[in-house]
Amino acid sequence: MNILHRLPSGPIVGTVVALCSILPLSAQGPDQPADGEAVSSLLSYESPQKQVWRVGFRLDTNGANLSNALATFPIPTDWPEQTVRLVDQQVGTQVTNWGPKDIDGGVRQVRALMAQVPAGSNCEILLTFEIERARIVGPSEAETAELQIPSRPSRSLKLALGNSPYINTTDTRIRNAAREVAAMEAANDWEKVENAYDWVREKVTYTEGNLKTASQALVDGTGDCEELTSLFIAICRNMKVPARMVWIPGHCYPEFYLEDKEGNGTWFPCQAAGTRQFGKMDEYRPVLQKGDRFRVPEHKTPQRYVSEFFTCNKRGGGDPDPNFVREIVE
């Protein structure tokens, strides 16, 4: 019998990629941002704080003999505002192969293969990371006046310009909203994006609820951090401004992308839900993922968030109980 577990997608959990050759973290090179982003001279990173997080997977066979078990889970990685260091790893003897893989768009994922897990075994893989994250201080007014919407976006930037799950950029209501925002007075491209930011925060009242599309949040006039972020991103994309989700534990916020006159680009954060922060970010919770359109082999359609996944073959006993871990240690 084949057993398949997927956790609901969202900022706390996430999905899967196919089997491939993988190496332990210790065999990898130095940590790099998932998409190779460089530190921007327009932003400063101040007052860093360290946290220790444990991420991983525990498996209770529940009396069954398991074979060809596969567990995958996302792990934090480096970004300009964040550095990640592996400080401890606990890997059970039943784990026959494991290691990280970068997924295009802004995620690092661990995949662990367990060829045989006998009944009564307790298999685990637990990774402990020291994560240092800094406050992001935004650019000066003189610097923002020089920024421009990219005229020739790269292939990777084009991922941040189209439709994504729940970010229905091409919806007529979103396009109409973007035209309304674009018609507002603005001295430069930075102010155009800021108009979109303030417009979304004015039109949508923060309300906890079930996940819905950006256009539905616009119609309802309500939404939580995901809907506010999605709507801002959708309007930005209609204005040809690349924008994306940033996922942290229990929350998300958007980033938008502008270039200087030399074509050097920077991703700027803003807080769609909560205290007004535009072009800066006072946040110490670790970045889990950046992006909102991930392609993984287990799904035919793009995923909003890369979540945990477990599958195996089993014989006898009850259904195995996979338990994914993401917890702050100190």
Q: What is the pLDDT of residue 34?
A: 44
CA distances from 138 to 43, 80, 281 (A): 5, 13, 8
Q: Alpha-carbon distance 87 to 95, whole Å? A: 19
**Nearest CA among 16, 12, 19 for reference residue 295:** 16
More confident residue, 156 or 84: 84
**Predicted local confidence at residue 121, as pLDDT:** 85
pLDDT in tens, 35-87: 458 889 999 999 999 999 999 999 999 999 999 999 999 999 999 999 999 99
- Classify 178 as helix, strand or coil: helix
DSSP string over 2-16: EEEEEPPPSSS----
pTM of structure:
0.88
Q: Is the pLDDT of residue 30 over 60?
A: no
Give the mean model confidence (pLDDT) for residues 265-284.
97
Whether residue 298 is predicted with pLDDT greater than 50 in this model: the reply is yes
pLDDT in tens, 130-155: 999 999 999 999 999 999 999 999 99
Question: What pLDDT was estimated at residue 296?
Answer: 77
CATH number of 140-279: 3.10.620.30
Inform me whether the pLDDT recorded for 114 exceeds 70: yes
Locate the domains of the chain by residue range. Answer: 2-136+291-328, 140-279
Rounded CA-CA distance 100/107 in Å is: 10
Q: Closest Cα to residue 228, out of 241, 238, 214, 240? A: 214
Tens of pLDDT, residues 200-227:
999 999 999 999 999 999 999 999 999 9
Over range 163-191, report the average pLDDT.
98
Largest distance between two CA atoms of the chain: 69
Q: Give the three-class secondary structure for 117.
A: strand
